[in-house]
Amino acid sequence: MQLIESSHWRLWCDKDVGVQWMAAQVNRNGQWVDVVPDCRAERPDAGSQADLAAPGQSADAPLPAANFHMIPYSNRIRDGKFNHRGRPIALQDGAKHAIHGALRKQRWRIISAESDTLVCEFDSKADTAINWPWALKAQIAQSVKGDTLTSTITITNQGDTDMPVGTGWHPYFVRNIDGSMPTLTLPVTEVFPDESGDCLPDGAAIELPDALDFRKPRALDPDQRIDCCLAGLAGACHIHWQDAGIELVMSASEACQFLILFNPDKPHFAVEPVTNANDAFNLAEQGVSSGVAVISPGTSFSVTMHLQARLHV
């Protein structure tokens, strides 16, 4: 496991499992505070609290990672099937709707590692076969500089034909910090309808209902079950634990026009900036705007997410 740190951040990543985040903390007046669930098998800094549940975790369904990178598509593909320019594509695990990309459980190689920077790479030609019909190379660069954590995903098409692509991050956050519950500000305008509740859109995005309108600061109700794909992301998202004096400001590349909000009955929740909607490839075939990018052989697609830690103490 790799640790990178700055004056404000500590981030642990596991390059053997998708460069997933296993824990992240911010420095509040000399005290390191968990802002994402601690998913490390061993917590050397837990001290006398080692016998208690890790921050953001639940004993009945512990998270294996605090954040994973969804490459070369985010969220789900209905039945694992879609067409690309007349070519039928069938992925494995179609019964489970082929979820969260092909690389989050793969072993990556470290390209460079500094005290505050980690760059890892995966090459489907050199490393291992993956559940994706195009050859690709991917790079994840994580860094912490001062008060800002930065993550950049780059995907390169190594195949012989144009490749559809999407990507994004799936970060979970701790729900309760020192007794403070989160207030969210999410600058989105629409949501994809999902009448069946399977996280697969029924059609084009529609106007945001009041129940999902977080455009103005609003407390995230732990009793409101949410798992939806939001559209029209334009600007920074704010995650604010007011009484704890901690605010995270999440911003992402312009290509990240969609946001997944997941609020389960757990001590954590997820706010996920992504470049494509759920089931984007099938939606695109229906003429629905869903964020599918297409890259030609030898070209790359790259996006960046920033998390700035603001302390109000």
pLDDT at 50 over 80: no
Q: Are 37 and 66 in contact (CB under 8 A)?
A: yes
Q: Please give the Cα distance from 300 to 14 (Å, whole number).
A: 24
pLDDT at 45 over 70: no
pLDDT at 183 over 60: yes
CATH 2.70.98.10 fits 2-311, yes or no: yes
pLDDT, tens digit, for every residue of 103-134? 999 999 999 999 999 999 999 999 888 999 99
pLDDT, tens digit, for every residue of 280-312? 999 999 999 999 999 999 999 999 999 999 998
| Mean pLDDT of the chain, nearest integer | 94
pLDDT at 150 over 80: yes
pLDDT, tens digit, for every residue of 76-91? 999 999 999 989 999 9
How confident is the model at residue 128, as a pLDDT? 84
Q: Please give the Cα distance from 84 to 294 (Å, whole number).
A: 10
How confident is the model at residue 44, as a pLDDT? 64
Helix (H, G, I), strand (E, B) or coil at 242: helix
How confident is the model at residue 46, as a pLDDT? 55
Question: Which residue type does 38 have?
Answer: D
Instruction: Give the domain ranges of the chain.
Output: 2-311
pLDDT at 51 over 60: no
Instruction: Calculate mean pLDDT across residues 1-30.
Output: 97
Q: Are 120 and 107 in contact (CB under 8 A)?
A: no
Instruction: Calculate mean pLDDT across residues 179-206.
Output: 95
Instruction: Calculate mean pLDDT across residues 263-277.
Output: 97
How confident is the model at residue 65, as a pLDDT? 97
Q: Strand 218-219's sheet: what is its strand order?
A: 109-113, 117-123, 136-145, 148-157, 300-311, 246-252, 237-241, 183-185, 218-219
Q: Please give the Cα distance from 37 to 61 (Å, whole number).
A: 12
How confident is the model at residue 130, as a pLDDT? 93
